[in-house]
């Protein structure tokens, strides 16, 4: 019971942090990709052979991650099973793309020759991978609880009410 209440309490602020961090990834990756495509050498950019891949996948992870925050916030507000499916699926896709970008960031770190902005982008990707995973864990921990999870046990709709055991007796 406590897992569901705690997960609902922490999900909203965690989603807001994720949105801000995805916006920062979008800004850093967009600026860096613009400089990288133009062939400009900027003292904060640097780069190696994996830089182009890192920037493209970081942009994709940032866009999908920012878009996945909306179903998450709607789920926190409604807290029903119907919204859980959208929040879980978009959160999982966002985490997968962020993890892929983090893997490319690890390769980028291994190859070296990184500028200040690319190091900042790599740090944001590492933090985003962990916070997205924490969000998914909280999202799925809330399912365990029947009182606080997305169930119909406490709604007033007739089709959601539980049927008493004596009405289920079919031996008559």
Of 54-63, 105-114, 140-149, minimum mean pLDDT range: 140-149
Average pLDDT over the chain, rounded to an integer: 84
* DSSP state at residue 163: P
pLDDT given for residue 43 in this prediction: 67
Full-model pTM: 0.80
Domains of the chain: residue spans and CATH: 2-148 (1.20.120)
Sorted by sequence, the CB contacts under 8 Å of residue 88 that are 6+ apart come out as 136, 139, 140
Q: pLDDT, tens digit, for every residue of 55-107?
A: 999 999 999 999 999 999 999 999 888 899 999 999 999 999 999 999 999 99
For residues 25 and 63, the answer to whether their CB atoms sit within 8 Å is no
Q: Please say whether the beta carbons of 162 and 153 come within 8 A.
A: yes
Q: Which residues contact 70 (CB under 8 A, 6 or more apart)?
A: none
Interval 154-166: pLDDT, tens: 455 544 455 555 5
84 within 8 A of 144, measured Cβ to Cβ = no
Q: How confident is the model at residue 19 (pLDDT cuts 50, 70, 90)?
A: very high
138 or 146: whose pLDDT is higher? 138
């Amino acid at each position: 019971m406590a897992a569901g209440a705690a997960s609902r309490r922490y999900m909203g602020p965690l989603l807001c942090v994720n949105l801000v961090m995805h916006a920062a990834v979008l800004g850093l990756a967009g600026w860096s990709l613009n400089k990288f495509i133009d062939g400009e050498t900027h003292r904060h950019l640097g780069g190696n052979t994996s830089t182009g891949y890192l920037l493209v996948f970081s942009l994709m992870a940032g866009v999908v991650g920012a878009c996945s925050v909306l179903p998450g916030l709607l789920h926190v507000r409604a807290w029903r099973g119907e919204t859980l499916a959208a929040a879980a699926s978009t959160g999982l896709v966002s985490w997968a793309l962020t993890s892929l970008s983090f893997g490319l960031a690890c390769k980028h770190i291994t190859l070296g020759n990184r500028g200040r902005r690319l190091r900042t982008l790599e740090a944001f990707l590492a933090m985003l991978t962990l916070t997205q995973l924490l969000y998914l864990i909280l999202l799925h921990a809330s399912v365990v609880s029947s009182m606080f999870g997305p169930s119909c046990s406490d709604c007033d709709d007739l089709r959601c009410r539980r049927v008493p055991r004596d009405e289920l007796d079919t031996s008559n």
